[in-house]
Amino acid sequence: MADIIQAEGLTKVYHGKVKAVDHISFHVSEGEIFGFLGPNGAGKTTTIKMLNTLASITEGRATVAGHDVAKEPGAVRKSIGVVPQELTADDELSGTENMMLMARLHHVRGSAATAKIGELLRLVDLEDASRRKVKTFSGGMRRRLQLVMGLLHEPKVLFLDEPTLGLDVQTRSKMWNYIKGLNKDRGLTVFMTTHYLDEADSLCERIAIVDHGTIKVSGSPAELKAAHGGDVVTLKLSGGADLTEFFSGIEGVSEVAREGDVYRIKLPRAERALPAIVTGVVQKNLEIQEISFSKPTLDQVFLDVVGRSMRDEEASESDSAWENIRMERAR
């Protein structure tokens, strides 16, 4: 399929010294959900800002829907929808009024606008609440409104910057369904950023893991997990001899770690090796007290690629006053 976003050597340097994005190259195919995954400050938002004309490009070039971002910003703006991290719907206006304003700004007029607004509000189950002022909305409702406010002019590409920031787990998975629906039913291309690993895993067909302004690795979540993670079998035995060497000898096992009577065995396909492991233990007259195996997660991939866990990052999230206000509004 044709590439709807192309970025080559995209670089952003702020104030001549802070390199927020460092020679990033990637492409997004039409109809794809593509995700930028990385910790805060990795350069995700800056990349989105360059693609949707909010930030100038220091070096490199990018095209969106066939238009050069630096040379034809007007044409780019017409073909994109942008759902920012911040909740920008107006508190004092109703859901419909907010939609109406966006419609007018995008030159969608009259009955076409009314029909479109009704359709989009229905899509995210906001039709009943549409006459209420946005300040009475919950965080999830605001996010849903925000999502469709970017769609009035039927854009070709939708940019989502941290679409579920500050939402609880249930509301997040609902948001995911809406986003998946837009992508499937309308063939909308989605470029999104997130620092939630499960979000990237559940939504994105392809992801790029970014850190310090560069892409560390990219591919489908399954590919990345296969390449960087592998399955892990965890096994607790009732004492006895050290079986590290025996487990290491089983076909495909790449790593065995032992802590007391607990073994962690890393291998590509746990299902295939399990019989050999269990038979081996039984033959040595040992008893299995606990056994479990886990499929790889993007967290493992992230750890492998970036060298630290995503969870360590979340603890150090920015807590500036504005961040707090935004979170306040998100509630």
Using CB under 8 A as the criterion, which residues of the chain lie in contact with other proteins when the complex forms?
14, 49, 52-56, 73-74, 77-78, 80, 82, 84-88, 90, 92-93, 97, 101-102, 104-107, 149, 322, 325-326
Minimum distance from residue 33 beta carbon to other proteins (Å): 20
The residue (of 141 and 149) whose beta carbon lies closer to other proteins is: 149
190 vs 253, which CB is nearer to other proteins? 190
Instruction: Output the six-digit token pair for 173.
Output: 């998975």
Write the single-letter amino acid at 20. Answer: A
Beta strand 206-211 pairing with 33-37:
parallel
Between CA 142 and CA 163 the distance in angstroms is: 11
- CB of 101: closest distance to other proteins in angstroms? 5
CA distance 94 to 128: 12
47 vs 85, beta carbon nearer other proteins: 85
Pick 20 or 209: Cβ nearer other proteins = 20
Nearer to other proteins, 51 or 126 (CB): 51
Cβ distance 172 to 199 under 8 Å? Answer: yes
In this structure, are residues 286 and 190 in contact, taking their beta carbons and an 8 Å threshold?
no
CA torsion, points 188, 192, 197, 201, in degrees to nearest 10?
A: 20
Minimum CB–partner distance for residue 257 and other proteins (Å) = 46
Q: Closest separation between CB of residue 24 and other proteins, Å?
A: 17
Which CB atom, from 11 or from 173, has the smaller least distance to other proteins?
A: 11
- Give the count of beta carbons closer than 10 Å to the beta carbon of residue 181: 13
Tell me how far, at minimum, the Cβ of 82 lies from other proteins, in Å: 4
Measured from the CB atom, the residue of 149 and 217 that comes closer to other proteins is 149
CA distance 220 to 25: 16
Query: Least distance (Å) from other proteins to the CB of residue 160?
Result: 13
Task: Quote the least distance from Cβ 49 to other proteins, whole Å.
Answer: 7
The least CB distance from residue 6 to other proteins, in Å, is: 19
- The Cα 146–Cα 75 span in angstroms is 22
Of 297, 302, 322, 320, the C-alpha closest to 312 is 302
Q: In this structure, are residues 253 and 267 in contact, taking their beta carbons and an 8 Å threshold?
A: yes
250 touches 240 (CB < 8 A): no
Other CB atoms within a 10 A radius of the CB of residue 93 amount to 15
Pick 61 or 78: Cβ nearer other proteins: 78
